[in-house]
Chain A
Amino acid sequence: MRLKETIKIIDEGWVRKCMGYRVHFQKRNNGDIITDYVPGDEEKPLESEVVAWRLAWKLAQAKNKIGSEMKDKEIFNIFVVDDFNNPVKHYATGKIEVFLPINDE
């Protein structure tokens, strides 16, 4: 087998290079739960996982502020996803972290 083919197999099977990160969140709108992402689909995703998690954390902090004018539960289930919209483990803990988790059924 050629070296190039071997490297291709390794790249496909071992570590996948993520093409970008987005912050996933959900919000309630007239009883419906809407899933949204930032940056949006029309924008380029974030290249830095660190920046993505920091953005998610700041968003959670902003919505979690005591005395905020926003209604409770307006934005929840905030976490970072990759280019396939799969949740990404937090680089600091190695686990899937969700800010403002709400199991809304």
Chain B
Amino acid sequence: MEKTIAEFEKFGEIVLVYGRDILWAMVILIAGLVLAKAVNRMLRVILTKFISNKTLVSSISAIVFVLILVFVVAGAMEQAGMEGIVVQRIIFGITMAIVFLIIIFRPYMPNLPFKVGHFIKTGDLMGKVEATTLTHTRLKTVDGKTVFVPNSKILKDFVINYYFTPERRVEIEVGIGYDQDLIKAKQIMETLLIEDPRIMENPRPAVYVVNLADSCVELSGRGWVKNIKYWKTKCDLIEKVKLRFDQENIKIAFPQRDVHLYHEASPSFPEGEGTQNLIDNMTGET
């Protein structure tokens, strides 16, 4: 009993001596964390006005955040009673350990084939990269959806990065009937491609007969446009081809079958009720 009381008394003395320092250290830590977050947020807002590169803004903000944290932790540890030199050695050791780990594991860290702001297609998804983390990538699709794609899925699939392709080839595919004026159709398509302001002059647009299909002759009109204008140009050209073909009486083919009827002697049927029964059975009437 006396031993327990002595231990409690000793504990009380320790708390009286060191408690105040530890309390101040915790206050410094908490205040420092709040300050670091506030500075980080303000810095992002200010830097975004001057720097357009979002990755650079994130990196600078992260570095400042980490520096503030280091000072706050060092200050809290010194306040708690640690000697300055010991704190410096701990921080130096942790920094060296982090740098060492990054150097060793850098080759194994996934290197995504795009950056924030690039427009990509991965699998069935097409969209603009809004953010990348170690585990997933945030994509905003063309119809406004925000999709979080695991990096592992991206790395296993092909990725089309439209950032590296400033120009794209637009293809207009039309099938016309076998009995239609093929040369005229080609000329019309080529005219439409050439006169469109968005279609580049080099490489020259051209129209090809790509296939003699079951129901139609397939034509393919091809021209190059700037990536950003691809979709609208394609839609406009499809519309103009259809309407111009209508004006020039060129029929766009649709799947169809030719049925050839050969006249042969009709089979003999029994006369009378049998015949009527047969007809009734065929028509479903009684």
Q: Chain A: residues with CB nearer than 8 A to chain B?
A: 7, 11, 14-20, 47-51, 91-94
- Interchain CB contact under 8 A, B236 and A48: yes
Q: Which residues of B contact A (CB under 8 A)?
A: 190-191, 194-199, 201, 204, 229, 232-233, 236, 239-240, 243-244, 247
Among candidates B197, B204, B244, B247, residue contacting A47 with C-beta atoms closer than 8 Å: B197
Bound Cα distance A92, B240 (Å): 7
Out of A7, A17, A93, name the residue touching B197 (CB < 8 Å).
A17
Given the known interface contacts A17-B201, A18-B197, A47-B198, the answer about A91 and B191 at a Cβ–Cβ threshold of 8 Å is no
- Report chain B residues within 8 Å CB of A47: 197-198, 229
- Provide the bound-state CA to CA distance between A47 and B229, in Å: 10
Chain B residues lying within 8 Å of A92, measured Cβ to Cβ, are: 243
Q: Main SS of the interface on chain A?
A: loop
Task: Determine the chain A residues whose CB is within 8 A of the CB of B229 once the complex forms.
Answer: 47
The reply to whether B197 and A50 form a contact with Cβ atoms under 8 Å apart is no
B240's partner among A19, A20, A91 (CB-CB below 8 A) is A91
How far is A88 from B196 in the complex, measured between Cα atoms in Å? Answer: 13
In the assembled complex, which residues on chain A have CB atoms less than 8 Å from the CB atom of B196? Answer: 17, 49
Is A91 within 8 A of B243, CB to CB?
A: yes
Could you tell me if B236 and A49 are in contact, using CB atoms closer than 8 angstroms? yes
A residues within 8 A CB of B232? 48
15 contacts between A and B (CB under 8 A): A14-B194, A15-B190, A15-B195, A17-B194, A18-B195, A20-B197, A48-B198, A48-B232, A48-B236, A49-B240, A50-B240, A51-B236, A91-B243, A91-B244, A94-B244
Chain A residue nearest to B248 in the complex (CB): A94
- A12 and B247 CA atoms in complex are apart in Å by 25
**Chain B neighbourhood of A51, CB < 8 A:** 236
Given A49-B236, A50-B236, the answer on whether A94 and B247 have CB atoms closer than 8 Å is: yes
List of B residues within 8 angstroms of A14 by Cβ: 194
Contact B243 A19 (CB under 8 A): no
Bound CA–CA A17/B233 (angstroms): 15
Q: Lowest 7 A-B CB distances belong to which pairs?
A: A50-B236, A15-B194, A92-B243, A94-B247, A47-B197, A91-B240, A15-B191
Query: How far is the CB of B232 from the nearest CB of chain A, in Å?
Result: 6
Rounded to whole angstroms, the CA-CA distance of A7 and B247 in the bound complex is 28
Inter-chain CA distance A48–B197, complex, in Å, is 8
**B-chain residues with CB within 8 Å of residue A19 when the two chains form the complex:** 197
* A89: min CB distance to chain B, Å: 10
Other than the known A17-B195, A17-B196, A17-B201, what 19 A-B pairs have Cβ atoms closer than 8 Å?
A11-B194, A11-B201, A14-B194, A15-B190, A15-B194, A16-B195, A17-B194, A17-B199, A19-B197, A20-B197, A47-B229, A48-B232, A48-B233, A49-B196, A49-B236, A49-B240, A50-B236, A91-B244, A92-B243
